Amino acid sequence: MLQACLNGSRGKEFHEATPLTPDDLARDATRVVDAGATELHLHPRNAGGAETLAPVEVAAALDAVRAAVPGIPIGLSTHAGIAPGGQGRLDAVAAWRTKPDYVSVNLIEDDASEMIALCLSRGIGVEAGIWSVADAERFVKLPEARKCLRILIEINEQDVAEGLAAAAAIRLVLARASLDVPILQHGFEASVWPLYQDALMRGLDGRIGLEDGRDLPDGMIAKDNTDLIKAAFRLSRQPPNLPPEVTPSIARG
């Protein structure tokens, strides 16, 4: 599965083609799905362009995208940086009348377990965002872990070897827990394409889009999200070119 992450917290200053409004998102959704993306991840915005979980703005974004690409699963972020933060995010999600198919929840955040439980109780799938071994260890202990839609291995390290080692260490914790939950692995900025290639080699799901980076595999800036998705499919047909994986050094037990 290839998920298109359309905007994240990016603005027009990052890339002029970053979709912000419901109409922008619907347009981009149509194009990336035509290019082969099978799922979407997006961050609705308010009138000022800020990320929001407010029910009205969430419904506007979801309705526009669903009208453009009916039947395509759509996910939203619940990250702690979305105003008003804290309990306000939980209250907003609880108030949604128009719901996404799934949300991503970062295990590094203090209220991750509460957000996961809330979303599952509302029939919303959960992507558990894991950035580190500590996140993975916290996740596998949650009673809701096996109920999650998938696990997101989200690598922020900008050194490629370090990023691959971090992903390997996370996968080891997950493997030991035998959760049988699908895994999507992705990088950020410098690690986008190496982590995508690594995911391809391992039969894991991936995601590509302006939220994670604007560069193509050759280092040129992509025209838009569609350009990135097309590049991902081209890369999937080529043999991988990765540095040797570093064996993680973590406690055995």
pLDDT greater than 60 at residue 242: no
- Distance CA(66)–CA(234), nearest Å, equals 27
- pLDDT score of 238: 75
- What single letter denotes the amino acid at residue 89? R
- pLDDT score of 245: 46
CATH number, position 20: 3.20.20.70
Cβ atoms 159, 180 nearer than 8 A: no
- Would you state the structure tokens that stand for residue 221, as one six-digit string? 């800036």
Cβ atoms 184, 206 nearer than 8 A: yes
What domain range is 86 assigned to? 2-236
246 falls within a domain: no
76 falls within a domain: yes
87 falls within a domain: yes
- Distance CA(240)–CA(136), nearest Å, equals 27
247 falls within a domain: no
Q: How many domains would you assign to the chain? A: 1
C-alpha distances (whole Å) from 74 to each of 33, 49, 100, 121 are 12, 20, 6, 18
DSSP letters for 54-114? -HHHHHHHHHHHHHHSTT--EEEE--TTSTT-HHHHHHHHHT-SS--SEEEEETTSTTHHH
Instruction: Give the pLDDT confidence of 27-74 residue by residue, as tens digits.
Output: 999 999 999 999 999 999 999 999 999 999 999 999 999 999 999 999
**Regarding predicted confidence, which is higher, 89 or 243?**
89
Predicted TM-score (pTM) of the model is: 0.91
What does the buried/exposed string (b/e) look like for 123-139 if buried means 16 or more CB atoms within 10 Å of the residue's CB? ebbbbbbbbbbebbbbb
241 falls within a domain: no
| Banded pLDDT at 248 (limits 50, 70, 90) | very low
Cβ atoms 164, 243 nearer than 8 A: yes
Cβ atoms 211, 181 nearer than 8 A: no
248 falls within a domain: no
| Banded pLDDT at 249 (limits 50, 70, 90) | very low
Instruction: Give the pLDDT confidence of 75-119 residue by residue, as tens digits.
Output: 999 999 998 888 999 999 999 999 999 999 999 999 999 999 999
- Would you state the structure tokens that stand for residue 138, as one six-digit string? 């916290």
pLDDT greater than 80 at residue 171: yes
81 falls within a domain: yes
19 falls within a domain: yes
